[in-house]
Each structure stands twice: as C-alpha cells, then as structure tokens.
Homo-oligomer: A and B are copies of this chain.
Amino acid sequence: MTAVAEPVTAAARPAAPVAVPAPPAGGTVTLSMAQALNRALRDALAEDPSVVVFGEDVGALGGVFRITDGLTADFGEARCFDTPLAESGIVGMAVGMAMNGMRPVVEMQFDAFAYPAFEQIVSHVAKMRNRTRGRVALPMVIRVPYAGGIGGVEHHCDSSEAYYAHTPGLHVLAPSTPADAYALLRAAVASPDPVVFLEPKKLYWSKGEVELPSRAPGIGTAVVRRHGTDATLIAYGPSVPVALQAAETAEREGRSLQVVDLRSIVPFDDETVCAAVRSTGRAVVVTESAGFAGVSAEIVARVTERCFNALAAPVRRVTGLDIPYPPPKLEHFQLPGVDRVLDAVDDLQWEQ
C-alpha cells in the first residue's frame, strides 16, 4: 500500500508514518527526503511561533505524502490544520496571514492542483513586496509535491517550475537530497520572501545523511555534486540522481562528467554554474519538465551568453518531451534517463 491517498500511484511505497519523533540534539541522522521535510517543518514550528502549516489533508492524515505527519498532534490545530478544498483560497489566505505577522507554509497536493492558485501566486504572492515598495513582505512557502516518476495518472506528475521561475518576485527551490530538503525548507520558511518549494515526488523515499543543525548552503547557491573534467551536467531536483548515474556510467566509459545541482532555480547561481561549464567547455542541461520555454532553455541561454567563448559545443538539453505528461505505462519515455543524457554528451562535438 502506498503512502499516497490519491488515485495516483502505481508504485508501492512504504505506508509508514514519516514523522521523526525523537529529534537528536545534533549530529548526523539518516532520513528519507520525506522525513527530512517533516523534520524541517517540525523544527521550524518549534522555533518560531509565527509558523503555521495548512492545506488539504495535512492535519489528521499528515498529507497524502505524509510530509506533515504528526504535526497537528504535536503542535495543535492552530499550528497545522486542514482547509476546505480550494487552492486559491489556501494561497490567498496564506497571503493574508503573512501580511498579518505569520509565516504560512501551505501544501498544494500535486503540481497540477496548484494551478487554481495561479492568479494568487502571480498577481499577489510574487508582487506584494514590490507593489507596496517593500512595506508588505510575504514570508510564505508554497510546498509542491513535484514532477513525476511515480507512475501517477494524469494531472499528478506535472513539472511546473517554469511557470514560477518566469514570474519575478518568487524564489523557486528544488532539493535533490534529504540534506538539502531539510536545509532549503528551513531557509525557505525563514526567508523574508515567498518561496515555491518543489519536492521531487520520486525522491520522497530516497534516503541520505542529514546534518542537524544543517550547514548546507542556503537559497541561491548551486553545488558541484561531482567533479569532472570533460563536460558538465546541470540538473536540479529529480534530475540530479539521473545526472549522477550518467556520470558514473560515463566514468566507466572513460569520460569524466561533472554534475552541478542548482538547488535554487531562482535566484540562479550563475557563478557556480558558469565556473563549472568553463572548466569543462561542454555542458548538458537535464530537466524532467518539457523543454520548450522551460527552465532548461534559460540555463542554455544564460550559460551560452556568459560562456560562449569557452564552449566547444552548443549546450545541449535532455528534457521531458513537449507533450502532456504520459500515462503510467508510457511514463519512462518522458523521463530523462541515463542513455539520453549520455547520447547528448556524445553529441558535444568531441571531434573538433
């Protein structure tokens, strides 16, 4: 049985609660990404009384992915609560609460179910600070279980980052490890600006070491996940493990690939990305979302603008196809895989 209370996933997943009841005082723990997120919310709720968590099914159920597991029980109804089923209302209410001293963290149940809130996000969340000349800040987080790879039916696997990344005024984050999930969610909740926080669904159950308190870099910082000399793979969120796997395969084939994990799509860490690309002279961008006018296009464009003279080949993209997300049985055609990444690497004009 899966942890997903939705007509959605084929994949069998642990139904076990993800809450981490006994937080160690410090040091390093092994957590799934779901647990790391739960822990981040817990720690934020415990530290700052203005933090509130709400959305659909986040209370007693703990969210369809159990990210809010146990929060209502442990912090009370006032701090973590279910709302009526209306995403524009949820985001709009969060705007008002943020205007009035709170730090709301809201959950959209799936990417596609954040679309009803689009007007609130684009016309208010993103613009409030600017339109009030900095007088009204909106410290709020919109959490979105993001992208695919879990065998979900239609409307459950969209990749929506481009919509948010193109909207000035939002920060857009996408962790790829439990440690970053923890660190970035804490940073998002602490941020004075609104953050769209994209949680790769297919990585919820992936495990990793999490240092507590976190010393991971914050918003706006990319990291080199793997060093390499021949070409740089640029990825974020669900594509990072694919890039790392591709780099491993390539190494066996004698090619040294570097992997940059953006972590933060907005703000964008031009410095780290460009330094990495310049060091290899070749690059491939890997994203799960459709390519056309997506974040992958932006990465190609800005890397090319900035590193043109260091490039031995055009920066290539391996992205989702420009089609509606496929049904489960055809999903694997949509997801960037190791082979596609390596094919793209092969195309980087090595003959020159």
Contacts and interface: CB of A to CB of B under 8 A. Distances in A.
A293 B290 contact: no
Interface in A9-42: none
A77 B269 CA distance: 55
A293 B166 contact: yes
11 contacts: A115-B118, A168-B323, A293-B298, A297-B297, A298-B301, A300-B300, A300-B301, A301-B301, A301-B315, A305-B314, A308-B314
Interface string A270-293: 000000000000000000001011
A123 B115 contact: yes
A305 B313 CA distance: 9
Interface string A124-147: 001100110000000000000000
A124 B317 CA distance: 28
A219 to B, nearest CB: 16
Interface of A: 88, 112, 115-116, 118-119, 122-123, 126-127, 130-131, 154-155, 158, 162-163, 165-169, 266, 268, 290, 292-298, 300-302, 304-305, 308, 311, 313-317, 321-324
Given A116-B119, A266-B292, A296-B301, 16 more contacts: A118-B118, A118-B119, A127-B154, A131-B154, A162-B162, A163-B166, A165-B292, A168-B292, A169-B324, A297-B298, A297-B302, A301-B304, A301-B317, A304-B304, A304-B314, A308-B313
B115 A119 contact: yes
Contacts of A304: 300-301, 304, 314-315
B293 A127 contact: no
Given A154-B127, A308-B313, A313-B308, A293 B162 contact: yes
Copies of this chain, tallied across the complex: 2
4 A-B pairs with least C-beta separation: A308-B314, A115-B119, A118-B118, A300-B301
A290 B301 CA distance: 14
Contact of A305 (B122, B130, B292, B317): B317
Contacts of A295: 293
Contacts of A116: 88, 118-119
Contacts of A302: 297
A158 B122 CA distance: 10
A321 B169 CA distance: 12
Contacts of A158: 122
Nearest to A265: B293
B166 A294 contact: yes
A148 to B, nearest CB: 14
B301 A305 contact: no
Nearest to A296: B301
A295 B302 CA distance: 13
Given A154-B131, A166-B162, A315-B304, A112 B123 contact: yes
A130 B323 contact: yes
